[in-house]
Every structure is written in structure tokens, then in C-alpha cells.
Amino acid sequence: MTVSSSLPVGSSAGARGRSAGSTALRNLLWLSADKVVSVTLGLLVFGLIARHYGPSGAGQFSYGVALLQATLGLSLVCSSAAVLPRLCQLNDGAAASTVANVFAVRMVGSLTAACLVAVYALVAIDDPMRRAVTLVMLVSVPLIEPFQAFSAYWLSRNQNRAPVLARGSGLLARLLVVVIALWAGVPTWVVALGWVVEAIVSASLQTLSLRVVRPWRTLVNAVRTPRATPYLKFGIRFAVGLWLSHLFMRIDRLWLAERMDAHAFGLYATAMQLVEVWLQVATLLAGSMAPAFLYRAVRRSTRLRDHWRTIALLAGLGLVGLAGAALCGPLLLTQVFGTPFAASSGYLVAGFAAAVLFFVDQFVQVTITGNNRPGLLACKWAAACVVALATLALASPHLKAYAGPLGLALGLLAGWVVVAVGRGLRPAARGR
């Protein structure tokens, strides 16, 4: 099978521009369909849980998902963000072999991260139900993160159908398990098994999808320590920054969960769960733009004014989300989660306001990774985490949970200051 997103050598600049635009649009349509399905089914799952258990129970699951996502970030020893620019330059066979070695590296990373965070959960989480839900969800980590390498392959080929269908099937499996578990009245931790089943289904389908490129036996035989080691060394350079970025996005809930009563935290965490879904739209949008044209664009020009359309698009979409949260948020919360969650609307709007900055930040993120600046990436997110944590510590006694979105917004701004000081839009020297 040969999949190529490039044009013939003699193609005109106009044709290349039209091809890049159509490729990005096709990617965006598939990824948008993926997000529509994930948002719809995700809302349905959390709506069922919230109506069954109330704010306190919803908070337990929201915390579990937040720590699950943070763990997935910690397992990123060879992330797609670091590898994707390289995959885009390889032919299909070489890219598939590369992905097989990246998969092996990521499997080791995910198992290590899951074990470390499980120890943290056992030590740090006081609520036994929240601890049980979290530990069950952590089982899915090695079934999720390594298989994202297969999704990176299809994204580098500008073909997203296979991973989108795999993720959608997994979400349907999670919904089915949750519905049956709630109907049967089983213990709370059994409901959390829905996330494990989802991961099994998605991983199985993504594994099957890569067989159309190379037989699985060939891919397994391509995995060698001398081949995997360079990807570990390359990916680990970006790992610290990506670890900190995932921690940053959940630092508010990890901090507030142990400092608020269960009911109040459940109201906040449910709203921020919706915000996090919206943030995923930003990452998917950047993911569709980056391999199609954005990597080339940021390498071609380091001047911000040359990228104003991309930045304006990202900021505009963030503002659209904020307007939607302000206008429809209260209705969405009560219709999906139930009347008690009307009190979450203020948190939802505050979270979507901080998300506007996160949408713009996708351009900064792609620029840093595309220009091979792992040190700057780590400094950016380290500053963001420090400022967010300081804001939570100082402001939460006065602002309560509203200190969470404020900390995220100030953290992102602090990260941009670090990038500006580090002149992060300048490409790294060749060979660095």
C-alpha cells in the first residue's frame, strides 16, 4: 500500500498550496467527526454517571479521568509531537517500521508511568472510592498510549479514518459497559472498567489497521534495541516538556480534590471535564494543520505576522467556545448532568475563558516542536506549572475553585513569556 500526501516535483506553488489546504481540510473533517462522536458519547457516559451518583460521585470519576490523562502524559517518552515531523518525511514502509520501534519504547514508558502513578494514588488519595476508581482506570494506560503511535502513522500519511473508527468503537464499548454496570447496581469501581474495555477495543482495531501497510510479523521483526534506542533518545528530549504540559492541564483538579468537600469538588470537576474535552479540539485542530502545512510554515518564517491567519483562526475558535459556554452552558449542564449541576455554570465559563489562551498556545507548541527546541518546551511548561500552582495556593482560600481557571490562564501567559525570552520562534541550529 502506498499512501502519499506529496505532489509531483513539477507541481506549481499554487497547486501545492491548494493541496495543503485540501489535505488539512480532509484531516480536520475526520478529526472533527472523531471529536463529535467522542464528545457526544463522553457526555452521555458522564451524564449517566452524574445522574446516578450525583456531584460527589461525578467528582470521583472526573478526578480519575484527570489522573488517567496526566499518567498518559507521563508515559510520553517518545511522543507523537516529537516523532510526527520525522514520520512525515519517510515513505510508508520506513514509517511503519519506525512506528513499531516507537511502540515498543512507549509501551515501556506507559507501564513505568502507570506503576508510579498507582503508588501515588495509593499514598495520596484519601477517599477510598475515588482511589478505587482511579486505580482501575490506570490499568488502561498501557492499552492507550503505546497504540497512539499507530495513530501518528496515519496522521503522518494524512489519513485519519482508521484511528477515528477505532476510537469511536472503543467509546461505544465504554458506553455499553457503563450502562450495564449502572443498571446492575454494581460497585463504583466496576463502572470504571468501561475505560479499560474501551482501551482494549480501540487498541485491537488500531493494531489491525496497520496490517494493511505491513504484515504484523514484519513489524514485530523490525523492532530491535539498536533501532528503538535512537527514538528513545530523540523522544526523551521532548519528554520533560510534554510531561509538564499534561500535568499542567490537570494541576487544578489534583490540587483542589484534597482541599474541597466532595460535593463542591464534583461541581467544579464536572465543569472542567467539559473544558478538557474542548481543549482536545484545539490539539486535534493543531494535529490536522501541522503535518499538512504548519511545520513547513514555521520553518520557512519566524515572524509572527506571517502566521497571523493561523493564530487568528485558533483564537477565534476559542472565543466561539467561550460564547457557547456562556450562552448554552447552564442548559447543557442541567440537561446532561441534572439540575444540581446548574451551580457548575460559572466554573464552565471561567474554564472556557482560560481555554482561549490554550487554543492560541497550540501555535506556540507546534512552533517549538517543529523547530526542535525541547529545552525551551520544558522551560515553558515548567514556568506554567509553577505559576499555576502558586496561583492555586495563594488564591484558592479567597476565590475557592475559581482559582483553578485563573491559575491555568496565568500559567499559559507565564509560558509565553519564557518562550519570548528564549526567542522560541527561532529554529534550532542544524544538527542540534
Q: What is the pLDDT along the chain (432 residues), one digit of tens a residue?
A: 333 333 333 334 444 445 555 666 666 677 677 778 888 888 899 999 999 999 999 999 999 999 998 998 888 776 665 666 677 666 666 777 778 888 888 898 899 999 999 999 999 998 999 999 999 999 999 999 888 888 878 877 767 778 888 989 999 999 999 999 999 999 999 999 999 999 999 999 988 887 777 666 767 676 777 767 776 776 677 778 888 998 999 999 999 998 999 999 999 999 998 898 888 888 777 666 655 456 566 666 666 666 677 788 889 999 999 999 999 999 989 998 999 999 999 999 999 999 999 999 988 887 787 677 888 889 999 999 999 999 999 999 999 999 999 999 999 999 999 998 876 445 444 444
Taken in order 336, 340, 345, 348, the sign of the CA dihedral is negative
Provide the Cα torsion 105, 108, 110, 116; round to 10°.
-140
Is residue 7 situated within a structural domain? no
Is residue 432 situated within a structural domain? no
Is residue 238 situated within a structural domain? yes
Is residue 192 situated within a structural domain? yes
Is residue 428 situated within a structural domain? no
Write the DSSP assignment of 378-390 as a string of letters. Answer: HHHHHHHHHHHHH
Q: What cell was used for 128? A: 477510598
Q: How far apart are CA 252 and CA 233, in angstroms?
A: 31
Q: What cell was used for 228? A: 528503538
pTM for this prediction: 0.79
The predicted pLDDT at position 212 comes to: 74
Q: What cell was used for 58? A: 461525578
On the CB side of 286, CA atoms within 13 Å amount to: 26
Is residue 184 situated within a structural domain? yes
Q: Which domain holds residue 383?
A: 15-421
Is residue 1 situated within a structural domain? no
Is residue 4 situated within a structural domain? no
How many independent structural domains does the chain possess? 1
pLDDT digits (tens, 9 = 90+) for 151-183: 878 877 767 778 888 989 999 999 999 999 999
